[in-house]
Structures are given as C-alpha cells and as structure tokens.
Chain A
Amino acid sequence: MKQFFRRLQYLLNRRRLERELASDMEFHREMSQANGTFGNTLLLREEAREAWGWTWIDRLGQDLHYAARKLRQSPAFTVTAILMLALGIGVNVAAFGYFNLMVLRPLPVRDPVTLLHFQRRAPTNGADNFPYSEVAFFSQNARTLSAVLAVSFSRLKMDAEDKPLSATFVTPNYFTDLGASAAVGRLLNPDYDPTPSVVLSYGFWQSHFGSDAGVVGRLIHLNDKPATVIGVASREFSGLGSGTPDLWAAIQQQPYFIPGADMGGLQMWGRLRRDATPAIAEAELSSLAARLRQTDPQDVWEKETLPSEPGGFALTLRREMYPVLAIVGALGLLILGAACATLGSLMLARGVSREREIAIRISIGAGRARLMRQLFTESLVLASLGSVAGLVLGYLVQRSLMVWTDAPLWYNPLPDWRVTTFAMSLGFAAALFFGLAPSWQIARQRHRATKVRQVLISVQVAASCVLLIVAGLLSRALTHAANTPLGFEYEHVIALDPALEGYSPQQAAFYFDQLKSRLSRIPGVESTSMASNPPLGNRWSIGKTPVAGRIIDVHFNNVDSQFFETMRIPLLRGRSLKRGDTTQVVVSDSLARLQWPSEDPVGKEFSKGTVVGVSGNARLVSPEDSDAVEVYRLAQGDLLPQMVFLIRTSGPSETVLPAIKSVAKSIDPKLFPQAQLLKTAFSRKVAQAGYATMVAGVLGVLAMLLACLGIIGIVAWAVSQRTKEIGIRMALGAKPAHILGIVMRQFSVPVIGGLLLGIGGAAALSQILRQQLYGVSNLDPLAYAAAVGLFVLAAGVAALLPARRALRVDPMLALRYE
C-alpha cells in the first residue's frame, strides 16, 4: 500500500524526480569520465525510470501523439474511417438506446426498483386486469407492500371537442407515491377528495391550453360532467407503463364520468417494503386473494396466484420479443461487421503505403511489439472517434424517430452511461477486429499476407449479402402482400368500433340490435356483422393450444353468424355459427388439416368445443403470419360490449362512412364510435412493413457500398503489386481478358466463399422472420437470387474499376519499374 502511494507520489512529481535522476547520472558520468564509460544516456535513464512502473504513460502519450499526427496527415482516410465506424456504431447505438430507454432504464419515478407489476393467474385463467375490490383489499391488508397503485385507461370527451382524449384513472396515492411534482397547481392528494378534479399531462397542457398557468381552477366538462383542473404534472413525469395519457383522475370518480363503469380493469403495481422480497409479496397476495374469495367469490378466481415482474420500467422483456431483438441485434452487428471488414482492408492497404516508414523505424531499433502497439493505438484513436460520432448519429436518429412517432415527453434519448459504455465497447471491439490483424501484419512487415485480406473480403461479402437478402425477402413479402388474397375481402368493408364503455352485456346487445336495424336501412349497406377481433385491427387473442401434438399459436375470434358472409370467407364444410351455439366452434382449413389430416373435422372436439364448420383460411389479424390458424366462437355474454361492428357496402365504402358514423352516434350521443375503412387499415399495415423493408434496404445497400469500397481498394492494391508481372505477360502477348482474369481470379474464392456464407447466414436468420413475411417462404429463391445477383453485379463493377488499370500497364515502363 505504502509502495503504491510512493509510486503515485512519483507520478505527481515526475518531472522534478526525472530531472534529479538525470542530474545524478550526469554527475556519475563526470566523475567516471576518466574510465571512459559512455552509454546511451537517454536509454539508461529510461531503464532506470522503468522501476516506477509509469513508463507506459509516456509511451501511451507518445503513441497517441504520433497517431493523431498520422491521422491528421491523411484526412481523407481518417474521415472515411470515422464515417464508416459512425455508421456501424450509430445504427447499433440507436437500437440499443431505444432498448435501454424501454427495458433497462428505470422510469423517472421515485425509487423505481421497488415497484412490482402484478398479474393474475389461475390454472385456467390469466389476466393483467384486476377488479377494484381486489385492489382495495390488497391495499388495506398487504403488509409486504407499502403502497398499492392501480390505473385504468379510458377515453373521455372533453367539452365540445370532436376527438376523445385519453384519461387514466388512478388510485389517489399515485402521484405522491411516485414522487411526482406539479408543473403548475397541485396533484392528487393521497386522501381521496370527492370533488371531481383532474390533473393534466404536460403535453396535453401545452397542446390544448397553450401552457397557460391560469388553467388551474378552471372548470372543464368531461363526458358533459363538470370537473376542476387542479394542476399539471411535470414534463418529466412518466407515470407507470409506457404511454402518457392526456389527463389523470381518481379511480373513485370513474363511475361519475362514465356512468355504469365499475372501476374494474385495473393494472396493479405494488411498492415493496424494504424487508420484503417479490416472492414473499406474491405469496402474501395469493393468500390474501384466497381470503377475499371467501367473501367475494365473484371477483377472485379459484386458486388465484399473483405473479409479479419488475414494475419500474416502461417495458418488461417477454419471451415473444426475443426474436425481434435477435433480428435487430443481428442486422446491427452485420452492418458493423461490414464496416469493420472494409476498414480492415483499408488499413492493410495503408500499411503498404507506409512500408518505408515502418522499415525505417524497425531499422533504427523499434521493437515489433512496440511498433504493433503504436499501430494499434492508431486504430483505438480511430475507434474512439468513431464511437463518439456513432453516439451523435444514434442520438440524431432517435431524435428524429421521436418526432416522427410522437413519443412521450419524458423520453430522453441523450446517451446515458449505459449507451456510452455500449458505444465505447463496440468501438473497442471494432478496433480489435479491424485494427489488430493489420497492425500485426504491418509490424511483422508481411505485406503479402493475402490470407487476412481474403478473410476480410469474405466477411464483407457475407455481411452485406445477409442484409441484402433480408431486404429482398421483406420487399418480396411486401409485393406478395399486395397481390395475394388474404382469404377475405376487405375493399368494401368498414370497421366500426362503438367503444361501449360502461355498457352491460344486455345494454350492448340492445345497442347492436338497434345499430343493425338502423344501418340496414342505409342504402349501400349490404350486410353487417361483428367480431371481437376485427380484421386488420390492433386486437388479437392468441392461445397456445396443442394441435396435432404440437403447441402452436391459435388465433381465437368471437363473431356472429353473418361474419363469414360479410367478410366473404368461404365455408368449406359444415355450417356457420348460429344463435344459441355455446360450445360450438368453426375452425380454419389450415387448422383442420393439421389436426385431422384425413378425417372429417365436423363433429370433432377442439379446445373445449365441437367443430360445426370449417372456414377458408383468413389471416384476419396478422396477414404477415402465414402460420396463423383460426378458431371462431359465437360472440355473446360478457364479450358483447367489446365487439366491433363490420359493415359491407355494395359500392365504395367511403361514401357510406359519414352516414354510418352519425347513426352509431345517434343511438347513444355519449359514445365515440371509431369507424375506418379496412382498406385504410390494410394499407397502414403494409406501410409498416414497407418501413421495415426500407430500413433493411438502406442498411443492405450501405453494407454493399462498404463492401464495394473494400473491393475497389483491394483490387487496386493487387494491380499495383503485380505491375511487373502484368507487364511481362503483356509483352509476351497476353490478351486483355486474360490479364483481367489473372487480377480478378485471386478474389473469386473469397467472394464466392463470402456469398455462400451470407446465403447460409440469411437462411438461418430469416427463420426468425418467417412470421412477418406474408406467406413468402424465408428461403424464397427469387429474393436470394436477386440479392446475390445485385451484389455480384456491384462487386464486379467495383472490381473492374481498378482492374482496368492493369490493362493500361505499359510493358516497357512496367519492366523498368523499380
């Protein structure tokens, strides 16, 4: 320890102590001059200093200084290299930055680590939502939780506004427990105050009240019920979960704003006491639930358990997200890989031009290790600059995406320590990849190390090939989607979501009866139907169900008897569902073929129901997933308030749309029916896929350009190396084609190897993509051929550009060369 302090002290007084040592040695030499011992004084001094263990700092300083000078000397190379790295790192930083904000970084609320998000599970049931009675019971009785928070999302109409706003009803302790502060006014008190009052979100305050501080105390009408604005939450306040609503109100006031609402459908969070663990809290809540069930068997399930997950994050990682993460990560790393490989070949080529410099330095006594360290320092400097540029680029990409996607205000893409560390580690890994091999080669003066070059070419080719193939597959899927029947007809259908909030099943049934009879009187309406998961909508119920011995995802949908007719889905066997069917189901042809390959499915049992009919395959909800199989049940009972109405028109749907909207509203003026053309929904879905395709395409083309740059560099180098040989061959009468063949041949093996590697990689990677491809096979030969063809073409041109120089070699000059 003492020794460490002496060492440190030496470092601090280095200059003085080094002078003293020099003076000691000078004196020594003066005295011993008679004996005539002379040595390299600098070297001797350096050797003596080495005992203190700080020489590496000097060397590092020298190396950095030298590297900076070298890089300044060739600005074109430096800028190219930094741009390449910035691209490779920036793409990854943007992706990781989003992941960090959503999954890794706790929400900006008080003590987010102690928050747990609860779910309900029973042997046959599962839900995210809690009834109010259960939440209140937990809140009163749970000893492992210091607070229970619950929220429920709704839509309300404000004053005379046309568009509904999003409101979150919260337990009154919500703001205090999350440590929120008000921008103006105050927030909800933890003790419930029965005066109807609301808290505005910062964004809503800006957009609807022009950031007017006088809004506090103002009376607004929500669903025609007066309520006072008591304050505005601060800009940074995120709340729990991923979105921020327009306003908050106490959960107890939900029935006041929405008559008939039962304060149910609550998402529940708990704040863990310091001495408790999640497991203890889960066990306590499960036993509390059992106790509550004795008095309230309706709200609590039998054998209900309450699993928890960390609650202080915008998003909790679920198994379903892994494939998406894997694919994004793989694409990002591929770009970085391509950038590194290209940079590696550039570094090698640069090494050749520095041959003389290196040779001189070796001949005046530079050790190979020292030389290599110095060259690698250059790579590290480049990598750090690249990381910084990548951070900036990643930030800009996120920033523009935020504007584009209307992200919540608390979302802050400024890199934090995680993102910075991530970028720096990527930079370091990249430096290892693009810098280590070349510096080793250069330091050993082995410029003819074609092996390394060939490996680098293969990597570039493979990486850009994978990206191009993925882009090709996605764009194939896109054209396929636009031209392939989905199994149902959507051009003339309108989906009408009346959003029957607070309706009982009876009220909902009455509403739909009215709607049906009134709509059928509108000219141009051909037939009507309803479904719990409307086609091309954002709702789905997927059940993991055993089919033919395998657990697969089955899309469940609750529909009425006219559904198949309205959606033009053919019934292949049996009959449609009809009123009074309780356990009967209709299954899709694909499911029937899987489950009963050679038998008649009608009359068979499936998923606690009897099959009465087989419908044609219709990928209603996820047209991109060709593996989807469907099961239809009759819509009834509790599900009715959630139904979406489907209206088929005989002419263009647009003309009927306003009439339909006004009818839906006239039955109950409190509602906000949302109507949209399925046509529009479909083009929006395709546009999303188009966006993904565009991103993959841009990345693919970038990778290809990078690879081409690398190829140009390496062919140019090969030509310059073989000028003499080419000259002799030409003097002996070789034809131009022959010369070109010689130059290009040595690259055919690595390019073909890279192509094969890329095709294999794409085949493996696209396995994950299969469910997004609208039924296009992930081994679609056309996509592969197009991508490979494009690449070969581009690479060929890239190779020819410098190779032409070989043809212009003047035999006489070449022979005299050197």
Chain B
Amino acid sequence: MPKIEMPSGALVLLILRVLRSGPLHGYAIAQRIHVLSSEVLRVEEGSLYPALQKILLKGWVNADWGISETNRKVRFYRLTPEGVEQLEAELSGYDRVNEAIQSVLRTA
C-alpha cells in the first residue's frame, strides 16, 4: 500500500481527536490512527514525537506515567482543557474548509 504523507496540521488534529476518548501512550496513538483510518494512514515515529512535543509545548496535553499493556512504565498523554478547546476549534475549522473544498470539487 502506498504511504500517504500527512500534513503536520492534520496530524495534530488527529492526535488530539484520538486522545479525546482517554489518555494513550505514544505507540497507542499511532496504532489508533492507523486502525481507525482503515490502515490507510500510518504515523511514523519521526513525525509523531515532534508533533507530540509541539502539543506538549502548547499545553494541549499533559504526560503522566502509567503502565502499558505489556507491563512497561510508559508515558500516557492526556488532553487538557485547553487541548479540548483547541480540538473543538480545529474541528469546526476543518469542517468548514472541508465542506468548502467538497463543494468546489462537486460543482466545478
């Protein structure tokens, strides 16, 4: 399957979205996106962790220690209230843009 490159803005949106249902560790975030996109989107380590660092810096998520399913000490990323706000804002923005694009694609 051809690899699909994701714009970094979209990656942040996806990370925030998958974290809404609860805290996850880095690998789980990547897996979740992969699975939910029906294995179309693959998040590489090289883009996931820089994006996570950026989100940490912005204060949209916190990182806390937890135990993974393989019984290893690992950091879980949790959405902060600011993160929820940011997600809402990005989602509505994304919806508007998406609709606009769709309508252009349909009618042009």
Contact = CB atoms under 8 A, between A and B. Distances in A.
Interface residues of A, number: 26
Given A3-B57, A3-B58, A7-B57, A28 B46 contact: no
Interface string A361-393: 000000000000000000000000000000000
Interface residues on B, range: 20 to 34
Interface string A547-589: 0000000000000000000000000000000000000000000
A30 B96 CA distance: 39
B26 A24 contact: yes
A6 B63 contact: no
A39 B46 contact: yes
Contact of A52 (B25, B48, B57, B63): B57
A37 interface: yes
A28 B48 CA distance: 10
A20 B73 CA distance: 10
A28 B27 contact: yes
Contacts of A6: 56-57, 59
B26 A27 contact: yes
B57 A44 contact: no
Given A20-B63, A20-B75, A37-B44, A25 B49 contact: yes
B30 interface: yes
Nearest to B82: A2
Interface in B27-86: 27, 30, 44-46, 48-50, 52-54, 56-59, 63, 68, 70, 72-75
A20 B63 CA distance: 10
A48 B53 contact: yes
A31 B70 contact: yes
Interface in A13-30: 20-21, 23-25, 27-30
A47 interface: yes
A27 B72 contact: yes
A51 interface: yes
B37 to A, nearest CB: 16
A50 interface: yes
Contact of A27 (B44, B56, B58, B74): B74
Contacts of A50: 50, 53
A27 B68 contact: yes
Interface in A44-78: 44-45, 47-52
Given A20-B63, A44-B45, A44-B46, A28 B26 contact: yes
A32 interface: yes
A25 B58 contact: no
A49 B30 CA distance: 19
A2 B72 CA distance: 32
B53 A24 contact: no
Given A27-B72, A52-B53, 19 more contacts: A3-B57, A3-B58, A6-B59, A20-B63, A20-B75, A23-B73, A24-B25, A25-B45, A25-B49, A27-B68, A28-B49, A31-B27, A31-B70, A32-B27, A39-B45, A44-B46, A48-B49, A51-B56, A51-B57
16 contacts: A3-B57, A3-B59, A6-B59, A7-B57, A21-B49, A21-B53, A24-B49, A24-B75, A25-B26, A27-B74, A28-B26, A32-B30, A47-B50, A48-B53, A50-B50, A51-B53
